[in-house]
A and B are shown apart, each in its own frame.
Chain A
Amino acid sequence: MTPRLAYLALLVAAPLALALPPTASQAQTPPPVDFDLMQAPPSPAYVLLGIEPASVERPGDPTDLGVSIMNATDKLSVLPQNYAVGFAPFWLFGGGRKVTFDQWRRNGSLITNLLQTADLSAAAASVELGGGQSDLTSLGVGLRFSLWRGHVPDDEAEPLAELEKELLTAARSADERLRALAAADTLLIALEAAMRQVARVAPDSIPMDLIDAIALRNQQLADQAEQSTLPGRYARLKQLAAAVDLTRVGFKLDVAGGITGDFPGREFQAGRIGRGGAWITAGHESRRWSTLVVARWLATNVQGGDNATSYDAGGRLIYDGTGRLDLSAEFLGRWYVGDAALEDTWRASVMADVDVGFNKTLSFSFGRDFEGGLSGNLVAAVQFILGFGSSRAGGVAGS
């Protein structure tokens, strides 16, 4: 039989063989949507809207896509009024395809850090003003990125080594199984023989449908190899991966900024720029203690049409307790400049963030807020922050 005839005969037989039996993956139903893919973003817009759990945000790696719902509870009886959505363009749009884990875990160059940590977010908040005034809805957009992001310390070498050892064992198992399946598969052998015969005569003229048939058969064999050797190892790998703490430590420097719009009475036509600002957060973080300082510029459109420019400076001390409880305290001063008749003010508060499971946080805040807010200057809130995202240590950028 000539190579061409052999190839034609295979093309007739191959579709029947390739169609049966379906591989395990083909027979599977689509997996359910898992909202835990998304993480709670620490949106800079929350700061500008004045609803932030902490005014000194903790640096962190943004996730590719995240949503958070935050509610300062009223006897735990009201629907959430504050929302944020954020995304990291670098990771969402395929920028990380050639970024290796070793490159990621280190502190990169300024440009690398900026690209890999840039986080765009939008937030919305509603305030009930009372006293006959219309409710106020505020919308904000923000940008945050790290110039120094710290590094994953070497003390994670042991759990990582165990994970890598198990990965290599899994790869060996899959390799052996895949080669054994390929060596015993008469259809693949026949297709490959036909291809080689054509290639010997005219290597540039191997028909695409023959290549496609070989590719499809290789895919089916790979699926079979995976299904028959790896599910148990995947479960073990998941356990080992969960034990690796990828919290970055060391010096960190974040830059953030944004702008908000206020919409009294929820009327779009009545909208006006509410506040704009930019700030730098810097500090050192270890596994237990974090010390952060912030310098912030704000331009606020106060009622009556005047603009007030202010500068904040302050710091926050954080203690990471058992991994489920973070305690922190912060102090910020605010100094106004310009003509606006606003007095300098300050904020001081203590916070306890309790991880209540799978990306849900209860945040207790007590203290004194800046003067001039819409809802008084007492910080006494229990906020429930529901993030749709990762539960892995280091995964959720702190509030």
Chain B
Amino acid sequence: MSVSQTILYRLGAPDHHVFLKVIVGEAQTGASVVRLGSALLEETNDSEFTVELGLGSEVAGKKCFCTTVVTDINPQTNGTAVTWELHGGFTDYTKTCTLTLDQDGDSILYSAVIYLV
């Protein structure tokens, strides 16, 4: 079972830079891949990172994939959480998804599909 989040992000001024921030929470480990269309923007093990998607005029109508695999390593909880924050558009956007895993060491796929409109 995976966690998927579909986001429609309304862009603002064409000359505003649009940013995506990702946080892998609950003190778990994770790795993320961010693409705008097919273009690779980021591959990282950082639990918290920000990536620039581009100017509003450049990203309008495009689709951004953010794929994160999380492994439960925190002995204090089997909860997992991923937060996506978008800045630079019409308004700021924040969404956190959570899932509690069955056992220590289990993993889960979080994916966000962001439509920039």
Contact = CB atoms under 8 A, between A and B. Distances in A.
Interface of A: 25, 28, 31, 34, 36-37, 39, 61-64, 88, 91-92, 94, 96-105, 116, 160, 163-164, 167-168, 170-172, 174-175, 178-179, 182, 192, 195-196, 199, 203-204, 206, 211, 214-215, 218-219, 221-223, 225-226, 230, 233-234, 237-239, 241-242, 244, 246, 390-392, 394-396
Contact of A237 (B5, B24, B107): B107
Contacts of B10: 203-204
B107 A170 contact: yes
A100 B27 contact: yes
A172 B4 contact: no
A222 B4 contact: yes
Interface in B44-78: 44-45, 47-48, 61, 63, 65, 67-69, 71-78
Contact of A391 (B1, B43, B102, B104): B104
B107 A97 contact: no
Contacts of A170: 31, 69, 107
B73 A163 contact: yes
A101 B25 CA distance: 7
Nearest to B34: A175
B91 interface: no
Contacts of A168: 31, 33, 43-45
Contacts of B106: 234, 238
Interface in B69-110: 69, 71-79, 81, 83, 96, 98, 102-107, 109
B19 interface: no
B75 A392 contact: yes
Contact of A206 (B8, B63, B69, B78): B8
A328 B5 CA distance: 50
A312 to B, nearest CB: 29
Q: Interface of chain A, helix or strand or loop or mixed?
A: helix
Contacts of A164: 29, 31, 45
A313 to B, nearest CB: 30
Contacts of A211: 6, 8
Contact of B23 (A88, A100, A104, A195): A100
A375 B8 CA distance: 68
Contacts of B8: 195, 206, 211
A172 B33 contact: yes
A309 B80 CA distance: 45
Contact of B73 (A28, A61, A96, A244): A244
A175 B76 contact: no
Given A37-B78, A96-B79, A164-B45, A101 B115 contact: no
Contacts of B104: 241-242, 390-392, 395
A247 B33 CA distance: 30
A303 to B, nearest CB: 41
A175 B47 CA distance: 17
8 contacts: A31-B102, A97-B26, A116-B76, A167-B31, A168-B33, A175-B33, A178-B111, A219-B4
A101 B29 CA distance: 6
A241 B79 contact: no
B27 A175 contact: no
Contacts of A167: 29-31, 45, 69, 71, 107
A395 B43 CA distance: 30
Contacts of B4: 215, 218-219, 221-223
A91 B81 CA distance: 12
Contact of A223 (B1, B6, B103): B1
Given A390-B75, A394-B75, A96 B81 contact: yes
A226 B2 contact: yes
B23 to A, nearest CB: 5
- Closest 10 pairs (CB-CB, A-B): A395-B75, A104-B27, A100-B47, A167-B31, A215-B6, A238-B105, A25-B1, A222-B4, A241-B105, A219-B4
A394 B104 CA distance: 12
Contact of B31 (A28, A92, A171, A192): A171
